[in-house]
Amino acid sequence: MSRETEAVMTEQIDITAIEEIIEPYIKKKEMVIPVLQKVQEHFGYLPRPAIEEVSRLMRIPLSRLYGVATFYAQFKMKPRGKYIIRVCKGTACHIQGSPKIAERIEETLGIQSGETTDDLRFTLEEVACIGACALAPVIMINDDPHGRLTPDKIKSILDSYK
């Protein structure tokens, strides 16, 4: 995702919902993880203005919130796409060609693993195992598995999510 897209997203954050989101936790400073989970659920990630507002309202140091948010992999600090593509890198998928699948997705979308398209349509991630070895190589797009893939199938699959 370009810095310009990220800057526009940050400017469009409506933090007025933060007070309502954290109201059940307002006097419970030990509830940092559930608070951050609720904020991320609302925005799709943890935008800086939202974290700053949580810090202000709950009187928790900003550094503590960032420490928690960056320690746990579940928290995302950048906007993510509407569709999360997870490419399996497990042994069965790797042997059956998942590196070529990942390469074709990167070429098609113009992003690398860990990045999001500028239109916020897709985020690409690599995962250790999806648990569908019989379908190798396999990807998940949100909750939809796509298996027995070849690089030639990727464009039509991605087009179906546009």
Specify whether 67 is located in the same domain as 87: no
Task: Return the pLDDT at 10.
Answer: 47
Residues 24 and 65 in one domain: yes
Residue range 66-117, pLDDT digits in tens:
999 999 999 999 999 999 999 999 999 999 999 999 999 999 999 999 999 9
Do 47 and 107 belong together in one domain?
Answer: no
The confidence score (pLDDT) of residue 162 equals 79
98 and 121 together in one domain: yes
Containing structural domain, residue 21: 3-71
At 68, the amino acid letter reads: V
Q: Tell me, what CATH number does 134's domain have? A: 3.40.30.10
Question: In angstroms, how far apart are the furthest CA atoms of the chain?
Answer: 54
Whether residue 65 is found in the same domain as residue 123 = no
Regarding whether 49 and 90 lie in a shared domain, the answer is no
Rg (CA), the chain: 18
State which of 71, 103, 119 marks the end of a domain. Answer: 71
User: Rounded distance, CA 96 to CA 98, Å?
Assistant: 6
Predicted TM-score (pTM) of the model is 0.77
Judge whether 78 lies within some domain.
Answer: no
Q: What is the 3 state secondary structure string of 26-66? A: CCCHHHHHHHHHHHHHHHCCCCHHHHHHHHHHHCCCHHHHH
Q: Are residues 58 and 115 in the same domain?
A: no
Place of tokens 């070895």: 133
Q: Do 63 and 87 lie in a common domain?
A: no
Residue where a domain terminates, one of 21, 43, 71: 71
Tokens representing residue 151 in the block: 């690089």
pLDDT confidence of residue 144: 97
Chosen domain end from 71, 91, 113: 71
**For the chain, how many structural domains are there in total?**
2
**Residue 71 to residues 62, 90, 113, Cα–Cα distance (Å):** 14, 24, 20
Among 63, 81, 61, CA closest to 141: 81
| Residue 77 domain-assigned (yes or no) | no
